[in-house]
Amino acid sequence: MCQTQTAERILRGAALNWFEKMKTGIKSLIKREIPQGIWIKCKKCGHSNYEMALRRSHWICPECACHYPIGHQQYIDLLIDDGTFTEINANVAPVDPLKFKGYRDKIKTSRRQSGLKESVYTGIGQIGSHHVALAIMDSRYLTGTLGGATGEKLCRLIDRAMAERCTLVIVCQSGGARMQESAYSLMQMARISAKLNQLSQNGLLYIAIITDPTYGGVTASFAMLGDIALAEPGARIGFAGQTVIQQFLGTDAPLPEGFQLAETVLEHGFIDRIVPRDRMAAELARLIALLSPKTASHA
């Protein structure tokens, strides 16, 4: 009897070992047969989306309409008429005025990973055949922070818009002021705001597009100074981030529903409209046609 029970235990153990090896083999096979990046899980609804389908839908989840973050080139393709965009001030790049420890290494790493020289990409192009000066902030470069070179590129772009009498469009996406540049970074808020005041005095239109995330010094300056302020659905808009606020309050309790989301900001009157990404170009063309000085002069 004992021998029979011992034999059964041995067989059962062998079967379990075989089953575990089979499971491991199956998992390995699945991992090998599904290349990384083909399926992307939505951070909002959890649905697995086919990457090529997301590309075709401008990185909008087909299940819940969550807007994935995209870079400057995707925005150019999305907003600008084909073949009309020309980059300007491409050689403006950050320096290290305070000799901040590790800053130069961060700059090199961000350049290598993003292909950008600074957190904003600027140029001239057309939207719906309307001449525009366009700036796109890209969070892949140092989380889109506002530095001295960022401010310089934006100020030069505003000068170009005034010289060519065209509409200014800025796509905002930023973690705020760049701490490695301290007061040099904070000064850009005033510089850009002063330039935008000049643009307004010249009777020219400025449209701000606020995307996820837009925080800190960018929210406290030019993101909220547009004649028209548009936002993508679900964009996080605020001054201090949610984690910072919770740390300051000394609590892990969840913040109110909709806190800092574009929909809540719209309800409180700080932006004018929420526009899905795939309809943004058409909305911009319509607004420019209605509000630009050239159209007004022909009315």
| Residues 127-173 pLDDT 10s | 999 999 999 999 999 999 999 999 999 999 999 999 999 999 999 99
CATH code given to domain 70-298: 3.90.226.10
CA 272, CA 254: separation in Å to the nearest integer?
28
Least confident of 258-262, 277-281, 294-298: 294-298
Is pLDDT at 228 greater than 80 in this prediction?
yes
pLDDT of the residue at 1: 52
Where would I find the beta strands (DSSP E) of the chain?
Answer: 39-41, 48-50, 86-87, 120-127, 130-137, 167-174, 206-214, 228-231, 273-274
CA 229, CA 261: separation in Å to the nearest integer?
14
Average pLDDT over residues 186-207: 98
pLDDT band for position 298 (50/70/90)?
Answer: very low
Burial per residue of 229-250, b for 16 or more beta-carbon CB atoms within 10 angstroms, e otherwise: bbbbbbbbbbeebeeeeeeeee
What average pLDDT is seen over the chain?
A: 89
Residue 60 and residue 278 in contact, taking contact as beta carbons nearer than 8 Å: yes
pTM listed for this prediction = 0.84
CA 146, CA 289: separation in Å to the nearest integer?
31
- Give me the residue label for tokens 């499971």: 23
Residue 114 and residue 120 in contact, taking contact as beta carbons nearer than 8 Å: no
Average pLDDT over residues 229-235: 98
Question: Which range is most confident: 11-25, 190-204, 254-268?
Answer: 190-204
For CATH 3.90.226.10, the residue range(s) in the chain are 70-298
pLDDT band for position 4 (50/70/90)?
Answer: low
pLDDT of the residue at 38: 85
Residue 117 and residue 91 in contact, taking contact as beta carbons nearer than 8 Å: yes
Average pLDDT over residues 50-59: 89
β-strand partners of 172: 210
pLDDT of the residue at 249: 85
CA 285, CA 299: separation in Å to the nearest integer?
17
